[in-house]
Amino acid sequence: MELDLHRTFGALVIGSTFAVFLFGIVTLQCHAYYSRFDEDRKLFKYLVAVVWVLELAHTIAISYEIYTATITHYGQPNEYDRFPGFGLATLLGGSITMCVQAFFAFRVHSILPPPYRYIGLFCIFLTVARCVTSFYAGIEGIMTTSMVEYTERFRGMLAALFISGAAIDVVIAVSMLWFLSAKRESAMPKVTRLLDKLVAWTIGTGLLTSVAAVVIVIVFMIQDHTLIWLALYTFLAKLYSNSLLCALNARSNLREEAARSSISHSRTRLRELTSSNGRPGNPVNPISIEMMTTTQMEVDDVPIFYTVPLQPHATPSVASDDANLKGHASMIEKADDYHQDDFEKDRGKDAKNGYHDVV
Residue 79 sits in the same domain as residue 174: yes
Predicted local confidence at residue 194, as pLDDT: 65
Of the residues 232, 249, 266, the one at which a domain ends: 249
Predicted local confidence at residue 74, as pLDDT: 81
Whole-number Å distance between alpha carbons of 312 and 297 = 25
Predicted local confidence at residue 330, as pLDDT: 52
Residue 102 sits in the same domain as residue 209: yes
Predicted local confidence at residue 178, as pLDDT: 84
Domain that holds residue 95: 9-249
Predicted local confidence at residue 171, as pLDDT: 92
Predicted local confidence at residue 99, as pLDDT: 96
| One-letter identity of residue 201 | W
Number of domains in the chain: 2
pLDDT along the chain (359 residues), means of 10: 72 93 96 91 94 97 91 76 88 96 92 88 95 94 86 90 92 85 67 67 77 91 87 93 90 64 52 51 46 50 44 44 49 48 50 45
Predicted local confidence at residue 335, as pLDDT: 46
Helix-, strand-, coil-residue percentages of the chain, each rounded to 5 = 75, 5, 20
Of the residues 231, 249, 267, the one at which a domain ends: 249
Q: Is 75 helix (H, G, I), strand (E, B) or coil?
A: coil
Predicted local confidence at residue 255, as pLDDT: 62
Query: Is 4 inside a domain boundary?
Result: no
Residue 245 sits in the same domain as residue 116: yes
Short-list 264, 209, 268, 267, CA closest to 238:
209
Task: Check which CATH number belongs to the domain holding 244 and give it.
Answer: 1.20.1070
Query: Is 3 inside a domain boundary?
Result: no
Predicted local confidence at residue 298, as pLDDT: 53
Residue 302 sits in the same domain as residue 154: no
Residue 214 sits in the same domain as residue 239: yes
8 Å CB contact between 233 and 18: no
Residue 102 sits in the same domain as residue 206: yes
Q: What is the DSSP string of 22-84?
A: HHHHHHHHHHHHHHH-TTS-HHHHHHHHHHHHHHHHHHHHHHHHHHIIIIITTT-GGG----H
Of the residues 229, 249, 269, the one at which a domain ends: 249
Alpha helices in 76-235 (DSSP H): 84-111, 118-143, 147-153, 155-185, 189-222, 228-233
Predicted local confidence at residue 83, as pLDDT: 84
Query: Is 216 inside a domain boundary?
Result: yes
8 Å CB contact between 127 and 76: no
Predicted local confidence at residue 296, as pLDDT: 52
